[in-house]
Amino acid sequence: ETLCDRCRRLSSGEILPAVVEGRLKRPSGAAVGEEGRGITTPEALRGVLLPLRERPALIALLVDLTDVAGTLLPRVRELVGGNPILLIGTKLDLLPRGTEPERVADWLRGAARKIGGVVDVHLVSSKSGDGLQAAARALLAERRGRDLFLLGAANVGKSAFLQSLLPLVSPATPRHLPLSASTPGTTLSLLPID
């Protein structure tokens, strides 16, 4: 199996920082603006995503249901422009027993009003599969020939969601699937999936 240097290091258990905030120091010997191997700045990551503003796309914005306040990206509109957003609450299986998913979805719809342009809300568990069929149907119905982009904060479950979603929407298995890990920033780039 061929792995990039970052993936090889992650698969061997090495913990690598993914996004370096301005307050963190550069590795010794690194020039200004050179944060080091496997590390990107928030500005560089934002630069990669800014072209989304100019292209027709459907945005699947993932939020962690156990930390909505910390994972609902408040400035997502700056990145995606007027593109429609389908909000997907992940980790449904981690909510306390007796939690009513429809009440959580209603609450999430209210929280999403501040970002605007949210066309639908779905709650899913990539682990148990709950809600995935409905989310897949909604994504396919809303897509309307546009490219689909999954966005979300670190460790919100983007890779796990994509791995669970693909068998529901595509008969072919892509050559490269994202790696799921508890380390933030494991999958930190655009991954084209045909």
Q: Residue 64: which H helix or E strand, with range? A: strand 57-64
Percent with pLDDT over 70 in the chain: 66
The pLDDT of residue 179: 46
Mean pLDDT of 142-162: 88
The pLDDT of residue 68: 92
Please give the model's pTM, rounded to 2 decimal places: 0.72
Distances in Å between the Cα of 186 and the Cα atoms of 13, 81, 142, 164 are: 12, 26, 28, 17
The pLDDT of residue 21: 44
Top pLDDT among 90 and 49 is at 90
Do the bridges between strand 118-123 and strand 85-90 make them parallel or antiparallel, or are there none, so unpaired? Answer: parallel
Query: Which candidate, 122, 113, 117, 112, places its Cα nearest to that of 90?
Result: 122
Q: What share of the chain is helix, strand, coil (3-state, %, to 5)?
A: 35, 15, 50
The confidence band for 25, taking pLDDT boundaries of 50, 70 and 90, is very low
Top pLDDT among 13 and 136 is at 136
Distances in Å between the Cα of 135 and the Cα atoms of 12, 60, 97, 131, 183 are: 34, 10, 22, 6, 26
Adjacent-strand bridge partners of 88: 62, 122
d(C-alpha 178, C-alpha 184), whole Å:
13
The pLDDT of residue 39: 53
**Chain-centre distance for alpha carbon 9:** 22
Residue 5, pLDDT above cutoff 70:
no
CB 121 within 8 Å of CB 101: no
Categorise residue 134: left if φ over 0, alpha if ψ from -120 to 50, beta otherwise.
Answer: alpha
Residue 152, pLDDT above cutoff 80:
yes
CB 92 within 8 Å of CB 123: yes
DSSP summary character for residue 50:
G
